[in-house]
Amino acid sequence: MPSSPDEHHTMPTDDQESIVEANQRFYDAHEARDAEAMFAIWAHDDQVHCTHPGWATLLGDSDVQASWRSILDGPGRNQFILTNVVARVDGDAGWVSCDENIVAPGGTTTVAALNVFAKTADGWLLTAHHGSPVFSQHPKDV
Amino acid sequence: MPSSPDEHHTMPTDDQESIVEANQRFYDAHEARDAEAMFAIWAHDDQVHCTHPGWATLLGDSDVQASWRSILDGPGRNQFILTNVVARVDGDAGWVSCDENIVAPGGTTTVAALNVFAKTADGWLLTAHHGSPVFSQHPKDV
Tell whether the model's pLDDT for residue A32 goes beyond 50.
yes
Residues 63-82 of chain B with CB under 8 A from chain A are 71, 74-76, 78
pLDDT tens string A5-19: 444 456 889 999 999
Shortest alpha-carbon distance between residue A4 and chain B (Å): 25
Chain A CB contacts of B131 under 8 Å are: 132, 142
pLDDT (0 to 100) of residue A61: 98
Structure pTM? 0.89
Nearest CA in chain A to B83: A57
Chain B residues inside the 8 Å CB shell of A141:
71, 74-76
Q: Considering only A2-11, B11-20, B77-86, which range has the smallest mean pLDDT?
A: A2-11
Contact (CB, 8 A) for A127 and A116: yes
> Is the CB of A119 less than 8 angstroms away from the CB of B75?
no
User: Does B7 score more than 50 pLDDT?
Assistant: no
% of chain A residues with pLDDT over 70: 88
B135 — pLDDT class (breaks 50, 70, 90): confident
Contact B52, A135 (CB under 8 A): no
pLDDT value, residue A136: 58
A5 touches chain B (CB under 8 A): no
Pairs across A and B, CB distance < 8 A: 166
Q: For A81-136, what is each residue's pLDDT tens digit?
A: 999 999 999 999 999 999 999 998 888 999 999 999 999 999 999 999 999 999 85
**DSSP string for residues in A55-87:** SPPEESHHHHHHHHHHHHHSS---EEEEEEEEE
Structure letter (DSSP) for residue A28: H
Question: Which residues have CB under 8 Å from B35's CB, separation 6+?
Answer: B29, B68, B69, B72, B73
B24 and chain A in contact, CB less than 8 A: no
Partners of residue B57 in chain A, C-beta under 8 Å:
84, 97, 99, 112, 114
Residue B66 half-sphere exposure toward CB, CA atoms < 13 A: 6
User: Residue B36 contacts by C-beta under 8 Å, 6 or more apart in sequence?
Assistant: none
CB contact under 8 A, B49 and A74: no
3-state secondary structure chain B: CCCCCCCCCCCCCHHHHHHHHHHHHHHHHHHHCCHHHHHHHECCCCCCEEECCCCCCEECHHHHHHHHHHHHHCCCCCEEEEEEEEEEEECCEEEEEEEEEEEECCEEEEEEEEEEEEEECCEEEEEEEEEEECCCCCCCCC
CA distance B139 to B142: 8
The whole-angstrom distance between residue A94's C-alpha and the CA centroid of its chain comes to 12
Distances (CA, A) of A46 to A41, A124, B93, B138: 16, 17, 18, 23
Residue B27: which residues within 8 A CB-CB, separation 6 or more? B80, B82, B100
Picking from B97, B128, B141, the nearest residue to A74 by CB comes out as B141
- What percent of chain A is predicted at pLDDT more than 90? 81
> For residue B139, is pLDDT > 80?
no
In this structure, chain A runs to a length of 142
- The pLDDT value recorded for residue B19 is 98
Cα separation of A96 and A20, whole Å?
7
Provide the residue type at B77 as one letter.
R
Residue B76 has pLDDT above 90, yes or no: no
What type of residue is B140? K
Per CB-CB distance under 8 Å, the chain B contacts of A93 are 90-94
Residues B30-71: tens digit of each pLDDT: 999 999 999 999 999 999 999 999 999 999 999 999 999 999
* A27 in B contact zone (CB under 8 Å): no
Q: Are strands B107-120 and B93-104 parallel, antiparallel or unpaired?
A: antiparallel
B141 part of contact set with chain A, CB < 8 Å: yes
Decide if A25 touches B, using CB distance below 8 A.
no
Domains present along chain A, CATH in parentheses: 14-132 (3.10.450.50)
Q: With 80 as the cut, is the pLDDT of residue B8 above it? A: no
Environment class of residue B92 by beta-carbon count within 10 Å: exposed (0-12), middle (13-18) or buried (19+)? middle
